[in-house]
Amino acid sequence: MPWKCTQCGVDGIDDALSKHPIDAGGCGYVRFPSGITLRSEKTGKEISVRITTTLGNASLTLLGDDEVRFMSSEQFRIIKNESMGGWAVENVSFAINPLFLNGAAIEVAGQVLKDGDRLAIKGAKCPLLVTVIM
């Protein structure tokens, strides 16, 4: 569905574009995603995040995956990070088992999430698929 630029009011911008590019006559406005959805690979259940949030075993039990027991009470944060240009994930420093992004350790500063990314404890436990909400 086409979107309207909130900066200059131009309507009908291609939905595939997340910005109103200057080189195409736009104002340069970047449309920030409204949130992130995490879907359990095992159960198909989802949880959506639209504000900076710390997640752990208690909040993720809603997904119905018994492997949530490998998570700490505070495991990771989903952060609205405008300087990085998107929603980012970062590990909580005291979590017992680290969270991995697409099979690799998450950088200390955090990493921006994209559609289709996969989060998992130790790279395999309690796998979560990421969808960016526009």
Please write the tens of the pLDDT for every residue from 42-76.
Answer: 999 999 999 999 999 999 999 999 999 999 999 99
What structural domains and CATH numbers belong to the chain? 1-31 (no CATH), 35-133 (2.60.200.20)
Contact 109, 83 (CB under 8 A): no
Please write the tens of the pLDDT for every residue from 69-95.
Answer: 999 999 999 999 877 778 999 999 899
